[in-house]
Copies of this chain bind each other. A is one copy, B any other.
């Protein structure tokens, strides 16, 4: 199988100012095309480090993908350096120049500057991959039997270039795809799960690998098959079916998808709608629900009620109850749920109120205390959870637990 290294260039990656989301996307797409990412390396905008990385990755992989370091400003040193490394010289590429001019005329509505025109200079020994979304073109080099592709680091520009480069790489290396099958479990920890499926794991053929991926209180299991065996896909399906059966009591989904996709599908199948009433999550749950394409078919709307005032005004929570029980209480979330359902007329509801931290905890209700109410007209159930993480993770756990309660509720109701 063809092997690739990803080199990401930019000081911002080394001081933590930017989270690298490019590499994950690239790895996913390469994988589908039968190219295994072997190593990912991030280096700074520094001559020696970039050259060392090129040399090292050249000996590790047949395909070396570089992102970043191609901007028009002087902190970007990659292009002259690539020129030197591959022994070319910079020449103005007319096709690229025309593309940049178009971009400025149509999108930015102003003429190109000196700096932008410099972006049209490319090494004379590279094959240009056009960037239709920005000014820095992709560049394909060959050296010592290795392919090097340099791209800008701006995510949607990188994606546009990769979409052209991947078919070129597939053809060049005549690749076979890699197959993954993933399922998600809830309600069982990694260790117990491992004990549960030990016999299935031990009987796997050598070309099928099992991985455990714990995340936000759930564990994903992934089977991966690669090689030229003609039975590959069939064998993978068979093993995946065994695995599914082995974990059936804990199975959330047999696809690699988030919980909001699972509940979205259930709602759609049943022809039901959902609304939310959120306090501490501030719209995070509605955000997850609406991140699914087609969610307008089953998502009605939400009330984000952060203040006492908004809980009273929008969801008819009695002022006395808020004073007596506090916003984070069983009584209040039940009222919030009822209020959202009757105001919006949806079929199902999620209501949450909690203290996610860092501040706001009390001895009786420490940080991490969350009340949630989930259900449908006539049957709304309240749950208390106690999370023990930081604000961000408490919010994620709250959303996951709420969606999982909703999933169970949808499965129970006929």
Contact = CB atoms under 8 A, between A and B. Distances in A.
B115 A17 contact: no
Given A14-B36, A17-B213, 14 more contacts: A11-B211, A11-B224, A17-B24, A17-B28, A38-B44, A39-B41, A40-B41, A72-B191, A75-B209, A282-B287, A283-B285, A283-B304, A286-B304, A300-B307
A24 B276 CA distance: 33
A80 interface: no
Interface in A93-114: 107-108, 113
B390 A156 contact: yes
Nearest to A193: B73
Interface of A: 11-21, 23-29, 31, 36-45, 49, 52-53, 56, 60, 71-75, 107-108, 113, 115-116, 154-156, 178, 180, 182, 189-192, 194-195, 201, 209-215, 220, 222, 224, 256, 275-276, 278, 282-287, 289-291, 293, 295-296, 299-307, 309-310, 313-314, 343-345, 358-359, 388-391, 393
A343 B313 contact: yes
B306 A304 contact: no
Contact of A74 (B56, B194, B222): B194
A211 B73 CA distance: 9
Nearest to A156: B389
B40 A14 contact: yes
B212 A73 contact: yes
A344 B31 contact: no
Contact of A310 (B42, B293, B301): B301
A25 B21 contact: no
